[in-house]
Amino acid sequence: MATTTQTQTGAKPAAGLSKEEILRYSRHLIMPEVGMEGQLKLKNAKVLLIGTGGLGAPLGLYLAAAGVGKLGLVDFDVVDFTNLQRQVTFGTSDVGKPKSQAARARLSNLNPDIQIESFETQLTSANALELFKDFDIIVDGTDNFPTRYLVNDACILLGKPNVYGSIFRFEGQVTVFGMPDGPCYRCLYPEPPPPGLVPSCAEGGVLGVLPGIVGSIQAMETIKLIIGNGENLIGRLLLFDALGMKFRELRLRKNPNCPMCGSHRTIHKLIDYYEFCGVRGEEAPVPDLKVPEITPRELKHRLDRGDDLFILDVREPHEFQICNLKGHLIPLGELPRRVHELDSSREIIAHCRSGKRSADAVDFLRKAGFRKVLNLKGGILAWSDEVDPSVPKY
Amino acid sequence: MAVKVIIPTPLRPYAGKQGSAEVKAATVGEALTNLTTQFADLRKHLFTDDGKLRSFVNVYVNDEDIRYLGKENTPTKDGDTISIVPSIAGGCCCLTAFGPLVEAGL
């Protein structure tokens, strides 16, 4: 499963730096806070990055550049064009390649003196402990609740620090979990939000620089843990608001009754985190609502022959600006109070980007008494694929 | 007593796109109730149908978690800052605990 480039000489801790390494790390070496001692600690450190995406990009780049002796990269995903806006490890020529491999190639080029292992796999309860055991510090740069809880629990079971970062649009959170006297993720959020409250793509989007900043703070915390200098974000949650350009800090307490890290632990092994979070994996999403559908080709055919169809677009206004099918725009969230804008005697075709939100809209409208309402299967994405390629996909 | 409530990004669409709001309140519970009176759309996101604060929404007075103070009965004084801190999972493209479906009542 693991692919390794470069190998360190022997399994013994490195006792010194080569002449080339001294030159490469000279700006660390001339700082008393790092110095030769700190640089050797970095060289002997083993850090595992969970996720090589938005947060993983600055993490990988800075930790490799700093001379962390062994970096593990866990990611099962493949680079796509929408990643390039923020995942600065990757270049345009990497599109289509596995992220862990593309990141390994980039980081090996940045620093050929370190060992990099890529794990092209999804982190699961079955492989997490095995993957984590060879590393000193785990850095969580994932993008979903089940993996957050999995990383937390595996770190607590193995007694390893978990450098946590997460982002949403303009906002970031960073802290260090899993230290002996510090709290864990479950102390902060004992339970995940119910799946019904985890949103669809309408709430998506992230400003590209944000993961750069948050991931860089995680990299800084990781390096401080390794060199044993400075004050880490242990028991402190750093909140970053990029829009207001404000950093704030909240105190995190270790919950004495925490089922994971409290004095009476009730969780002794890894569990099924998708079940815990009430969701299936991204690879196996919860089945969509069963509502009457129309395919893009059928819709095109019916429009061409002049059928009276009312196109209802339930996306957000900013999505409408990207591309649209000249439909009537009512964002899903506004549908209940704007339902009077619709004529139930006409046939309504609801659509969104991928067909998920519009399925909810169709379900809602049918429950509200609308009889002639269909969901455009696959949304505007499928329309672009099957009918009109000039409609951009996003 | 006037307190400032800081509204996190995922909730701003339901709070007139504001990053914070001033409310008059003597306790945290009162502050949140007054906030959701001012912004009715917020209510569903912060409270369950029976009026309890949702379990995955953390609330802080200044830098302290109200779970370790007096929960919703935690007193507030003039100039205090209340922070609503939702769990966000995003590393890349983002997931949070708040979605449009809640708003839509779907």
Query: What is the arithmetic mean of pLDDT over A64-86?
Result: 96
Residue B54: its pLDDT value, please?
85
Q: Which of B62, B71, B95 to mutate to test the interface with A (most CBs of A within 10 A)?
A: B95
Residue A146 shares a structural domain with residue A75: yes
Catalytic residue among A155, A184, A187, A352: A352
Q: How many domains does chain A have?
A: 2
Ranked by mean pLDDT, which of A4-8, A9-13, B77-81 comes out on top? B77-81
Mark yes or no for CB contact B89/A142 under 8 Å: yes
User: Does A132 share its domain with A7?
Assistant: yes
SS3 annotation, chain A: CEEEECCCCCCCCCCCCCHHHHHHCHHHHCCCCCHHHHHHHHHCCEEEEECCCCCHHHHHHHHHHHCCCEEEEECCCECCHHHCCCCCCCCHHHCCCEHHHHHHHHHHHHCCCCEEEEECCCCCCCCHHHHHCCCCEEEECCCCHHHHHHHHHHHHHHCCCEEEEEEEECEEEEEEECCCCCCCHHHHCCCCCCHHHCCCHHHCCECCHHHHHHHHHHHHHHHHHHHCCCCCCECEEEEEECCCCEEEEEECCCCCCCCCCCCCCCCCCCCCHHHHCCCCCCCCCCCCCCCCEECHHHHHHHHHCCCCEEEEECCCHHHHHHCCCCCEECCHHHHHHHHHHCCCCCEEEEECCCCHHHHHHHHHHHHCCCCCEEEECCHHHHHHHHCCCCCCCC
pLDDT attached to residue B102: 34
Q: Which amino acid is at A309?
A: L
Interval A81-99: pLDDT, tens: 999 999 999 999 999 999 9
User: In terms of domains, do A28 and A169 share one?
Assistant: yes
- Whole-number pLDDT of residue A288: 57
A301 lies in the same domain as A261: no
Query: Which of B71, B88, B98, B103 to mutate to test binding with chain A, by most A CBs within 10 Å of its CB?
Result: B88
Q: Does A263 share its domain with A317?
A: no
A162-213 pLDDT, tens digit per residue, is: 999 999 888 899 999 999 999 999 999 988 877 655 544 445 678 899 999 9
Same domain, yes or no: A36 and A87: yes
**CATH code at position A33:** 3.40.50.720
Q: Tell me, yes or no, if A201 is annotated catalytic.
A: yes
Nearest by CB to A143, from B89, B100, B101: name it. B89
Query: Are residues A299 and A270 part of one domain?
Result: no
Min Cα separation A366/chain B (Å) = 12
What does CATH list as the number for B2-104? 3.10.20.30
Does residue A282 belong to any structural domain of this protein? no
Which structural domain range is residue A371 located in? 293-386
User: Does residue A277 carry a catalytic annotation?
Assistant: no
Question: Would you place residue A15 in the very low, low, confident or very high pLDDT band (cuts 50, 70, 90)?
Answer: confident
Query: Domain coordinates of chain B in residue numbers?
Result: 2-104
Across the interface, whether the CB atoms of B58 and A188 are under 8 A apart is answered yes
pLDDT of residue B10: 80
Q: Is the ipTM of this complex over 0.95?
A: no
A288 domain-assigned: no
Average pLDDT over every residue of A274-284: 63
pLDDT value for B105:
31
Question: Which residue type is seen at A304?
Answer: D
- Residues of A with Cβ-Cβ distance to B60 under 8 angstroms: 250
* Interchain proximity A143–B105, CB inside 8 Å: no
What pLDDT digit, counting tens, does each position of A206-242 carry?
A: 889 999 999 999 999 999 999 999 999 999 999 999 9
Phi, psi of A60 (to 5 degrees): -60, -45
Considering only CB atoms, which chain B residues are within 8 Å of A144? Answer: 89, 95
A250 and A305 share one domain: no
Please, which pLDDT band fits residue A283 given cuts at 50, 70 and 90?
very low
User: Which residues does chain B have within 8 Å of residue A334's beta carbon, measured at their own beta carbons?
Assistant: 104
Judgement on whether residues A107 and A140 belong to the same structural domain of the protein: yes
Q: How far apart are CA B51 and CA A343, in angstroms?
A: 36
Residue of B nearest to A255 (CA): B68
The model carries a pTM of: 0.83
Q: Which of the four pLDDT bands, split at 50, 70 and 90, describes residue A286?
A: very low
Q: How far apart are CA A303 and CA A360, in angstroms?
A: 23
pLDDT the model gives residue B41: 84
Residues A34 and A177 in one domain: yes
Which two three-digit tokens encode residue A329?
């725009």
Q: How confident is the model at residue A278 (pLDDT cuts 50, 70, 90)?
A: confident
State the Cα angle at A191 between A189 and A193, rounded to 5°. Answer: 100
The DSSP string of A192-236 is PPPGGGS--GGG--B-THHHHHHHHHHHHHHHHHHHT-S---BSE
Label residue A284 by pLDDT band (50, 70, 90).
very low
Q: Residue B13's closest chain A neighbor by CA?
A: A203
| Beta-carbon separation of B94 and A204 below 8 A | yes
Residue A215 shares a structural domain with residue A84 = yes
Spatial separation of the C-alpha atoms in residues A289 and A361, rounded to whole Å: 10
Q: Are residues A268 and A309 in the same domain?
A: no
pLDDT at A201: 44
